[in-house]
Structure 1
Amino acid sequence: MTLQDQRVVVLGGTSGIGLATAQLAAAQGATVIVASSNPESVRLALASLPGSATGTAVDLTDSAAVAAFFTGLDPFDHLVFTAGEALTLLEVGTMDLDRARAAFELRYFGALGAVSAAVPKLRPGGSVVLTTGAAADRPGPGWSVAASICGAVDSLVRALALELAPLRVNAVKPGVVRTPLWRGALEYDETARHLPVQRVGEPEDIAAAYVYLMNQPYATGSIVSVDGGHVLV
């Protein structure tokens, strides 16, 4: 199956996993619309996408801005949410609860708000693909907040799959991926040595899972792990 003649909105689609997903969807014939908070990032992303692609700078933590963004769109087939910020690793003993609450704003409430605003514009037979993370299943010290966000998204996917049926709702659960969000958080070569696949992920590896879920008409409430075997070790 392909995404020929379908319209795909990728929030966070201007760098890393989101941009790779937009590029792969476009390669399958989709018209892509990307959005992120950084206008320069939007400009650079559009330079790497087909001329049919469009992009907008939107603060995805601003519910009014998100609502206005979707109001201005024509109906579309798939919503992908890959937006994120630098990883928030917080030790419990020195926990900054304001930072912990802020970490949920984009990755959880941003995703929930985007789905709420997008639903009226999603065509029958369409889908939503959110982003969670391997930390939900195998966290380490300092990962209590990040793991909680991922666990919350896991539960959100299952609940929305029932509430929004027959619209399909799924998620991708990446492990360590070579993107700006991970830069400085981990040593890639050291991490790779501990993974069964002996390397960290690339954005293109993860993008394939988002496109698979958009194309898979019988998947809903599914969370697809693409983590190089992280949860096994």
Structure 2
Amino acid sequence: MPSIKNSTVLVIGGSSGIGYGVAEKALAEHAKVHIASSNASRVRESTETLQEKFPEEHISGHLCDLADSGVERNLELLLTTIGPLDHIVFTAGDRLSIQPLDSIDLEAIHRAGHIRFAVPLLLAKLAPRFLKPGYGSSITLTTGSGSQKPYPNWSLITGYLTGLHGMVRNLALDLKPTRVNLVSPGVVATPLWGPAGVSDEMKNSTALRKAGTIEEVSEAYLYLMKDTNATGSCVSTNAGSLLL
């Protein structure tokens, strides 16, 4: 399988969680890595930590606000600053909008899909100007196991999560020969769960009775960067949660 050594990789959402894990693995394979997030202190701390761990490798951090209405302009500035890219990974997200159906309104619907659905689509619109041409380049987006399994009170967010499957398949056609793929994690032990970590209830909702680790799940993104035969596809890593 092709190496990503000396490839230039941008991880949007790379200052923590799965994105940080992807950046760490890419550096370990001697890629040139850029991470982007809207949290200045977290970007700085994560960049410094990764540089200390990989002193011989290239790592840089960038601020990019995905939440405001000028997000397309912010993305364009980020991509222009970095220059030609081999791979873009999008792991950014906000808290899942889980609420009873009778409590939602139009504003809530728009807000729920802004970062997880609208921003990746705008990123894909801009990407051809900044990705090196050919099937060696890729975009990898992120959904979740809720896209394939219904849960109570998930109607608001599930439409967007499921929609990413369709978006990726169509982007693979619209952006060919650039490859576009999707990773669908289940429950992953990230800082979002707080000091107590993933609850036993959540672990017991999977066939393996465990949560995924960042190290395990981030491997899926590295695979999709390397497999130049994969496009329009989804790698699911969910401890068997879809089987129950």
What TM-score do you get using the length of structure 1 for normalisation?
A: 0.95
User: Cα–Cα, structure 1 residues 21 and 141, in superposed 2: closer, same or farther, change >3 Å?
Assistant: same
Asked whether 1:118 is paired with 2:124, we answer: no
Partner of 1:71: 80
Equivalenced residues, count: 233
Aligned 8 A contact 2:5 2:29 in 1: yes
Pairwise CA RMSD of aligned residues?
Answer: 1.7
What is residue 178 of structure 1 aligned with on the other side? 189
SS in 2 for 1:34: strand
SS in 2 for 1:8: strand
User: Which of these residues, 204, 216, 240, is aligned with residue 229 of structure 1?
Assistant: 240
Q: Is the 8 A contact 1:87 1:182 kept in 2?
A: no
1:151 matches 2:162? yes
Go from structure 1 to structure 2 and tell me whether the alpha carbon gap of 1:216 and 1:130 turns closer, same or farther (over 3 Å shift). Answer: same
* Runs of 4 or more consecutive aligned structure 1 residues displaced over 2 Å after TM superposition: 180-184
**Secondary structure of 2:126 counterpart:** helix
TM-score, length-scaled by structure 2: 0.91
Q: Is the 8 A contact 2:198 2:211 kept in 1?
A: no
1:216 aligns with 2:222: no
Q: In structure 1, what residue type is equivalent to 2:130?
A: K
2:63 is aligned, of 57, 66, 74, to 57
In structure 2, the residue matched to 1:106 is 115
Q: Which letter does structure 2 place at the counterpart of 1:123?
A: K
Q: Give the drift of 1:139.
A: 2.1
- Alignment match, 2:33: 32
Task: Indicate the SS of the match to 1:40.
Answer: helix
Q: 1:201-227: per-residue Cα shift (whole Å, max 9, x none)?
A: 111111000000001010000011001
User: What percentage of aligned pairs have identical amino acids?
Assistant: 38
Secondary structure of the 1:64 match is helix
Unaligned runs of 5+ in 1: none
Q: Residue 60 of structure 2 aligns to which amino acid in structure 1?
A: T
Q: CA deviation at 1:182?
A: 4.3
Structure 2, unmatched stretches of 5+, are: none
AA of the residue aligned to 1:56: H
| Partner of residue 168, structure 1 | 179
Shift in CA distance, 216/164, structure 1 to aligned 2, threshold 3 Å: same
